[in-house]
Structure 1
Amino acid sequence: MAFFLYISHKMWQEMAKYGRKLVEHGLVESNFGNISVRAGDKMLITRSGTALDEITDDNVVEVEIQDTSSLDIIASSETVVHREIYRQTSALAIIHAHCPYAVVESLLAGTGEVIVPVDSEGQYFLGNIPVVGGGIGSPELAENLADALSKHKGAVVYSHGTFAPGRTLGEAYIVTTQLEHSCRVKYLYELAAIKK
């Protein structure tokens, strides 16, 4: 039991570290977005309404991955989505952010389409970025994202934000930053091309 409490303590501290980074770098507004980490057949996920730059152990909820939990009611509204991604992929951590350029590019591309990076890093590291649809925290969104993330490094939910899985929160954070960087470069490049 002491070992699990130690692991749980380290996990929420990692979640707090990356929550601060997301807010500091403008990848999410403080009270939006969510973070989770898989721990065996459970996950730790931020509570609904948690300010990501102020995560403490009280802002993190442990819920089941295979089944719903009585704590789902206080967990993030996207718990069902994180749960399905863990069920269908090898992800051990997930970051959901509201990256502004990624949201804009999703609006320009449309649901069911892909965002094609124009920068070499995005082409190499991400490839095509799927834009998926579904209501916030809905089973439809959960299924669409889990399917997309079983084939791609990251995805953007139409008009909503990015989902990035990883083996660690650090890896999920890198995918999040790359998604936003590639979408920003694409937007600025296409804006400049129009003005030529």
Structure 2
Amino acid sequence: MTKSERALRQKIIDLCLEMNRSGLNQGTSGNISARHGDTMLLTPSATPYDQMTPEMIVTMPLGGEDGEWHGPLKPSTEWRFHRDILRARPDAGAIVHAHPTFATTLAITRRSIPACHYMVAVFGGNDVKCCDYARYGTPELSELVLAALKDRAACLMANHGMIALGGDLDQAMWRAVELETLAKQYYYSLQLDGGPMILSDKQISQVLNGFSSYGRQFERNSD
């Protein structure tokens, strides 16, 4: 294992710990992956984050057979959508999946998040879509997630949780935090008389154009 690969593996563990400290996730229900050459580095299944070591992070070939993996522990049961996203999205270098309270609450009601705030544009368009339901770990879920992520850098998963993509681990985590913040704002706005006022496509397009020169965190992901 090279020094750079070990650092990437440790970064995955550090962000898993951060997810739980911040309340973005609970227990071992979330998982994080990162592209490493022609492989994917992924958190192992059912392993407490505070017990993980870099050697426990699973390696999966992006071009390998279904389920092929290397390491002392089995990969997360959600390995399939991580692998399929990285295969389909060359712009994605990392993926954060978690079950944060507000994003998951909206996903339980199968609601997409509309342009209730201009920050929806950090995910690439005028909404964050909620994909339909399929059981965790299945090819069907992977297909639904990929469809919801078309031209987007995040999605909700019906009766499940959320996914955020980034060019690297830091950007993916930043987007995951932004998504839960947006979900919380949208949830509370639904409780008020009249509900949220939704920005127009033109207004969101202006925001997207502004983000293009604002900084790398705001770079738009696209297919």
Q: Same fold (TM over 0.5)?
A: yes
From 61, 65, 80, the equivalent of 1:64 is 61
The TM-score, its normalising length taken from structure 2, stands at 0.78
User: Judging changes above 3 Å, is the alpha-carbon distance between structure 1 residues 55 and 192 closer, same or farther for their aligned structure 2 residues?
Assistant: farther
1:183 aligns with 2:180: no
One-letter amino acid of the counterpart of residue 81, structure 1: F
1:46 aligns with 2:43: yes
Identical pairs, percent: 26
More strand by share: 1
User: Judging changes above 3 Å, is the alpha-carbon distance between structure 1 residues 54 and 149 closer, same or farther for their aligned structure 2 residues?
Assistant: farther
**Matches of 1:13 and 1:146 in 2, distance apart?**
27
Per-residue Cα deviation, 1:130-187 (whole angstroms, up to 9, x for no partner) = 1113210110111221232231110011111111111111100011011111110011
In structure 2, the partner of 1:115 is 113
Give the RMSD, CA atoms, in angstroms.
2.0
**Matches of 2:52 and 2:144 in 1, distance apart?**
28
Q: Which consecutive unaligned segments of at least 5 residues does structure 2 have?
A: 196-223
Deviation at 1:12, TM superposition (A): 1.1
In structure 2, the partner of 1:36 is 33
The TM-score, its normalising length taken from structure 1, stands at 0.88
State the aligned residue count.
Answer: 188
Deviation at 1:54, TM superposition (A): 4.2
Alignment check: 8 A CA contact 2:59 2:69 kept: no
From 2, 9, 16, the equivalent of 2:13 is 16
In structure 1, the partner of 2:98 is 97
User: Judging changes above 3 Å, is the alpha-carbon distance between structure 1 residues 16 and 70 closer, same or farther for their aligned structure 2 residues?
Assistant: closer
Deviation at 1:7, TM superposition (A): 2.0
Structure 1 residue ranges (4+ consecutive) displaced by more than 4 angstroms after TM superposition? 70-73
**Matches of 1:23 and 1:193 in 2, distance apart?**
34
Q: Which consecutive unaligned segments of at least 5 residues does structure 1 have?
A: none
